[in-house]
Amino acid sequence: MSDLIQAVISPEEIARAAMRLREVALDKDLSPRSVLELFERWAAALSGNGTEVIPGAPFLRLWLRRGTLEPILERELGQAVLNGGWREEGQAKLRAFPLGVVGHWPAGNIEIQPVLSLSCSLLGGNACLVRVPSDLVEATHLLMERLRAVDPTGMLLERIKLVTFDHSREDLQMAMARNVDGAMIWGGDEAVSRVRALPFPHWTRLAVFGPRLSFAAMDAETWNKPSERFSWCQRIARDVWQFDQQACSSPQVLFLERGGCGDVSPFMDELRQAFRAENQAHPRREIHPSLTSAICLARASWLLDNVANKAWFSQSPDWTILLGEGTNIPKPTQGRTLTVLLVDDLFQVISKFDGAVQTLGLAIGSAEKEEALAHAAARRGVDRIVKLGRMHVFASPWDGMDLIRPMVRVVRHVPSQDNAGSARDRRERIVSDIKRGENDPESCKSA
Amino acid sequence: MSNLPDIEERIRPLLASEPYKLNVDEHQSALLALLKDELAYACGRSASICNYVERWPIDYRTSSRIADLPFLPVGVFKSDPPLALVDRSEITRTLASSSTTGQVPSRVVLDAGTAKRMTKGVMTIIRDFIGPTRRPYLVVDTAATLAGSGELGARGAAIQGLRSFATELVCCLNSNPAGDLQLEVERLLEYATKWKDAEVLVYGFTYVIWNHLVKALKDHGVVLNLPNARILHSGGWKRLQQQAVTKEVFASGVADTFGCSPNRVIDFYGMVENVGVVYPDCEQGNKHVPTFANVIIRNELTLEPVALGQRGLVQVCSVLPTSFPGFLLLTEDIAELIHHDGCPCGRRGTAFRFVSRAPKAEVRGCGNIETFRVRSSANIA
């Protein structure tokens, strides 16, 4: 195990680590501006050095840029946050303070998630205790090494403790939970439920990013337009390829609205070409045998279940396109397996959505129709409605939730002395005094 | 044009010949044309199979190697009704896999012809390992496992498969009202006394033998004194891995219990979907492929056959079934390719070693939802 990620074996190790982290978080201010500066350097350091093979690394590089995070900070915590001072609100002053130690439980199959998760709580000035899933140790280590290269004084590193242990070690999970003031929990249903049930102190704030699914949809005007068809197909392929289609935001099904256009063959031909090209540009380097089995089963089941169904796939498990029709949403396979379903009306598809759907990637010709679809989808629980090809371009709010604000306390200070009030208060008082003086000569005199 | 009588006619000599005499090239050419014709036959019998085969990236009609032929993942046999190439009236028996609680078992349908070939296939293979003589057959299971005329479980099918070697069959377990298996100790000891010097055939599922016979007898310090017993077992190691029982520990524990040599304990690999084919360990610890079947170990990343010494997903091939499309099946098991030819045991052709079931991936991804909670299940297209 590396010096950056510690394999822990006892609850005491976790408690000690959390205590040290809390001291740092509570004793030393960390301004968002300085975090942004360091993140900017970290992003630049993530080019090359072996990090390029980590799935999602390009996204992380973009995420850590000031241009991405500054607007998020300002939107969630206000414009004054960058300076780290108090902002005024009426007679009160407000300022964001860290919760203290934030525990992170990233999902086991998104390589960049430990770093992504801790970056959110660092922006709030917190310290981070991160459980790195065993499969992500190598990738996380590579990413953290780049932080170490740009953080020689340890300004951020002293606030980060990465630990790894088997997920079945209930005693260690409990120790982590007992020692954190906030928790960011990511993953599938079972994992999220298990972490939520841990014995957190009553004040611990939980931000839960549970399992979600995403879909894509196109109207006939868009998929049937020869001049634009291939570029849309390329966008779909990009969305499918990123994160090996395992992210919440990965499209599992593409709904094509018929709209009177019967022949889908030209579109499917170009989608196939786009998949082949994307596969050539971004070949898979490894795959879990059970995913290979699942992909083979998805192909066979699709074609055996209904003789009207069609499919195109590579000899390897690299990519799969399954074509059918109807609004019944099939069980997702992931692993670059896209189901394309022809439907009569996209609104009928959306009427079947519930809170499980996170992102809807759209390619719609008419702006009015798109607005109506977006409205319908939002009402059905969808948190993100984006252009196809940008399904993984995340900003806050993430799953309909702020990312930084849940891990800070916004402290309100109402000064005890009137003259300590805000500048605006003082201005308002003067104006009011003047107005009173104009009507009351006595008052003017006394003033 | 592929018709069933022609296919059956071509299977016959493969079943009648010695099972391990062909080298890999001879084996490939003996099977390739027949498997292609069986695929064509299956396409003619089933529109859904035809839909799958015709969508395969390589046209099977022009394929020059078995590895390019369209295979089915074994998971498709969990469908209901089971995949069949025969009319319902022709089905004489349905075999079901052993499945862990809550999982759907695989089911395959047999007609008379396939059932006959299944028996012949198992006999041909087992005879090569234990010889042709019939002998007393001790079954480490309950008589109830063999009951039922329509559907037979994996344990029952394996027990029946060895019946051709039996003079008489005795089951040494029963089940209590709660369904727990219990050893009939007195019956077993009587049996051991009666046949103490005889060649005895013993069969049971691996975990059943260990949990319900070996452990029970060990607790009482009982040794059966059957030095000529030949103990065959199958059914996987998953439940014993949890108890840290390795293959070596198992063989030595069983041998101690029966009072025989550990090399008389033979593990064999098989599955109901691969009817008529079992893969016993040779004395080198390798599994061999009989003339009427084939095994391809595929790299999970490319699905191409692996090189010697490498591991991958196991594909089993068999020319025996004609009642269901079980010719080319991708399993969820991992094995290592040991030889293409040249095992010191003398058996020719491909040799491999079973490694494990493919471990389930940690399904903790943020995109993983087992079932989508649709508000309405109606298909409105």
Rounded-to-integer distance, Cα A151 and Cα A45, Å: 11
The whole-angstrom distance between B371's CA and the closest CA on chain A is 6
CA nearest B352: which of B252, B269, B273? B269
Rounded-to-integer distance, Cα A394 and Cα A52, Å: 20
**pLDDT one-digit tens code per residue, B87-116:** 999 999 898 887 655 578 889 999 999 999
- For residues A84 and A200, membership in a common domain is answered with yes
Rounded-to-integer distance, Cα B251 and Cα B258, Å: 11
pLDDT of residue A433: 63
For the cut 60, the answer to whether the pLDDT of residue B164 exceeds it is: yes
Establish, for the pair of chains A and B, how many residue pairs have beta carbons separated by less than 8 Å. Answer: 183
Instruction: Identify all chain A residues contacting B362, using CB atoms and an 8 Å cutoff.
Output: 108-109, 133, 135, 167
CA atoms within 13 A on the CB side of B150: 2
- For residues A230 and A346, membership in a common domain is answered with yes
Residue pair A55/A243 in contact by the 8 Å Cβ criterion: yes
For range B13-18, the mean pLDDT: 92
Q: Looking at chain A from residue 311 to 340, which residues have their Cβ under 8 Å from any Cβ of chain B? A: 311-317, 325-329, 331-332, 334
Q: Looking at chain B from residue 305 to 324, which residues have their Cβ under 8 Å from any Cβ of chain A? A: 312-313
Q: Where are the alpha helices (DSSP H) in A64-154?
A: 66-77, 113-123, 137-150
pLDDT of residue B379: 25
Rounded to a whole number of angstroms, the distance between the first and last alpha carbons of chain A is 73
- For residues A176 and A42, membership in a common domain is answered with yes
The domain of A136 spans 5-210+399-410
Residue A289 maps to a domain: yes
Q: How many whole angstroms from its chain centre is CA B127?
A: 16
pLDDT of residue B378: 27
For the cut 50, the answer to whether the pLDDT of residue A358 exceeds it is: yes
CA atoms within 13 A on the CB side of A9: 1
The number of distinct structural domains making up chain A is 3
Residue pair B224/B259 in contact by the 8 Å Cβ criterion: yes
For the cut 50, the answer to whether the pLDDT of residue A224 exceeds it is: yes
The whole-angstrom distance between B57's CA and the closest CA on chain A is 6
CA nearest B34: which of B333, B293, B212? B293
pLDDT of residue B158: 84
pLDDT of residue A86: 85
**Whole-number percent of chain A with pLDDT over 70:** 93
pLDDT of residue A423: 59
Rounded-to-integer distance, Cα A428 and Cα B3, Å: 98
pLDDT of residue B221: 86
Q: Where are the alpha helices (DSSP H) in A49-97?
A: 57-63, 66-77
- Pairing type for strands A87-89 and A92-98 reads antiparallel
Instruction: Identify all chain B residues contacting A209, using CB atoms and an 8 Å cutoff.
Output: 366
Nearest residue of chain B to residue A190 (CA atoms): B364
Residue B219 — pLDDT band, cuts 50, 70, 90?
confident
- For residues A275 and A149, membership in a common domain is answered with no
For range A379-386, the mean pLDDT: 95
- For residues A270 and A358, membership in a common domain is answered with yes
Is residue B269 classed as helix, strand or coil in its secondary structure?
Answer: strand
CA atoms within 13 A on the CB side of A270: 17
Per-residue 3-state assignment (H helix, E strand, C coil) for B304-370: CECCCCCEEEEEEEECCCCCCCCCEEEEEEEEEEEECCCCCCCCCCCEEEEEEECCCCCCCCCCCCC
- Pairing type for strands B328-339 and B311-318 reads antiparallel
Return the number of other C-beta atoms located less than 10 Å from residue A160's C-beta. 23
Instruction: Identify all chain B residues contacting A334, using CB atoms and an 8 Å cutoff.
Output: 365, 367-368
Residue pair A373/A288 in contact by the 8 Å Cβ criterion: no
**Residue/partner pairs of A379-382 with CB below 8 Å, 24 or more apart:** A380/A350, A380/A351, A380/A353, A380/A354, A381/A353, A381/A354, A381/A355, A381/A356, A381/A357, A382/A350, A382/A353, A382/A357, A382/A358
Report the CATH number that the domain containing residue A336 is assigned in CATH: 3.40.309.10
Per DSSP, chain B holds a count of helices (H) and strands (E) of: 10, 17
Q: Where are the alpha helices (DSSP H) in A242-358?
A: 265-281, 289-305, 346-350
Residue A174 maps to a domain: yes
**Residue corresponding to tokens 């939730």:** A401
Residue pair A164/A49 in contact by the 8 Å Cβ criterion: no
**pLDDT one-digit tens code per residue, A301-341:** 999 999 999 999 999 999 999 999 999 989 899 999 999 99
Is any Cβ of chain B less than 8 angstroms from the Cβ of A310? Answer: yes
Is any Cβ of chain A less than 8 angstroms from the Cβ of B90? Answer: no
CA atoms within 13 A on the CB side of B111: 17
CA nearest B223: which of B185, B249, B250, B251? B185
The whole-angstrom distance between B158's CA and the closest CA on chain A is 26
Which residue among B313, B373, B374 sits closest to A293, beta carbon to beta carbon? Answer: B313
Residue A273 — pLDDT band, cuts 50, 70, 90?
very high
CA nearest A179: which of A151, A215, A145, A203? A203
For range B243-256, the mean pLDDT: 90
CA nearest A330: which of A376, A299, A308? A299
Type and span of the H or E element at A437: helix A423-439
Which residue among B75, B334, B364 sits closest to A188, beta carbon to beta carbon? Answer: B364
CA nearest B265: which of B239, B236, B228, B238? B228
Type and span of the H or E element at B39: helix B24-45
**Residue corresponding to tokens 């540009």:** A281
Does the distance separating the beta carbons of B364 and A133 come in below 8 Å?
yes
For range B311-326, the mean pLDDT: 97
Residue A394 maps to a domain: no
Which residue among A289, A310, A343 sits closest to B300, beta carbon to beta carbon? Answer: A289
pLDDT of residue A361: 97
- For residues A36 and A135, membership in a common domain is answered with yes
For the cut 80, the answer to whether the pLDDT of residue B373 exceeds it is: no
Rounded-to-integer distance, Cα B341 and Cα A289, Å: 27
CA distances from B20 to B11, B14, B23, B46, B65 (A): 16, 11, 8, 33, 20
Rounded-to-integer distance, Cα B180 and Cα A326, Å: 47
Return the number of other C-beta atoms located less than 10 Å from residue A89's C-beta. 14
CA distances from A241 to A236, A367, B182 (A): 9, 27, 53
Q: Looking at chain A from residue 179 to 218, which residues have their Cβ under 8 Å from any Cβ of chain B? A: 186-191, 209-214
pLDDT of residue B381: 21
Residue A67 — pLDDT band, cuts 50, 70, 90?
very high
Which residue among A189, A248, A300 sits closest to B73, beta carbon to beta carbon? Answer: A300
- For residues A183 and A251, membership in a common domain is answered with no
Mean pLDDT computed over every residue of chain A: 90
Rounded to 10 deg, the angle between the B4-16 and B24-45 helix axes is 150
**pLDDT one-digit tens code per residue, A232-261:** 999 999 999 988 898 889 999 999 999 877
Rounded-to-integer distance, Cα B33 and Cα B318, Å: 13
**Whole-number percent of chain B with pLDDT over 70:** 92
**Residue corresponding to tokens 């390619």:** A363
Q: Which residues contact residue A254 at a Cβ distance below 8 angstroms, ignoring those fewer than 6 apart?
A: A215, A216, A217, A218, A236, A338, A339, A340, A341
Residue B376 — pLDDT band, cuts 50, 70, 90?
very low
Rounded-to-integer distance, Cα A424 and Cα A233, Å: 55
**Whole-number percent of chain B with pLDDT over 90:** 66
For the cut 60, the answer to whether the pLDDT of residue B261 exceeds it is: yes
Does the distance separating the beta carbons of B334 and A289 come in below 8 Å?
yes
Type and span of the H or E element at B125: helix B112-130
Q: Which residues contact residue A364 at a Cβ distance below 8 angstroms, ignoring those fewer than 6 apart?
A: A217, A218, A219, A221, A222, A370, A373
**Whole-number percent of chain A with pLDDT over 90:** 70
Residue pair A335/A299 in contact by the 8 Å Cβ criterion: no
Report the CATH number that the domain containing residue A52 is assigned in CATH: 3.40.605.10
- For residues A133 and A20, membership in a common domain is answered with yes
What CATH class does B117-269 carry? alpha beta
Mean pLDDT computed over every residue of chain B: 88
Residue A163 maps to a domain: yes
For the cut 70, the answer to whether the pLDDT of residue B377 exceeds it is: no
Nearest residue of chain A to residue B70 (CA atoms): A315
Return the number of other C-beta atoms located less than 10 Å from residue B37's C-beta. 17
Rounded-to-integer distance, Cα B91 and Cα A437, Å: 106
For the cut 60, the answer to whether the pLDDT of residue B245 exceeds it is: yes
Burial class (CB in 10 A: 0-12, 13-18, 19+), A206: middle
Buried b (16+ CB within 10 A) or exposed e, A423-435: eebeeeeeeeeee
CA distances from A248 to A233, A361, A382, B248 (A): 20, 12, 12, 45
Is residue A222 classed as helix, strand or coil in its secondary structure?
Answer: helix
Least confident of A167-176, B54-63, B213-222: B213-222
- For residues A166 and A43, membership in a common domain is answered with yes
For the cut 60, the answer to whether the pLDDT of residue B370 exceeds it is: no
Q: Which residues contact residue A256 at a Cβ distance below 8 angstroms, ignoring those fewer than 6 apart?
A: A217, A218, A220, A223, A264, A267, A340, A341, A342, A343
Residue B374 — pLDDT band, cuts 50, 70, 90?
very low
Does the distance separating the beta carbons of A289 and B313 come in below 8 Å?
yes
- For residues A235 and A165, membership in a common domain is answered with no
ipTM of the complex: 0.89
Residue pair B97/B355 in contact by the 8 Å Cβ criterion: no
Residue A434 maps to a domain: yes
**pLDDT one-digit tens code per residue, B323-351:** 999 999 999 999 999 998 889 999 998 99
- For residues A206 and A225, membership in a common domain is answered with no
Residue A321 maps to a domain: yes
- For residues A365 and A379, membership in a common domain is answered with yes
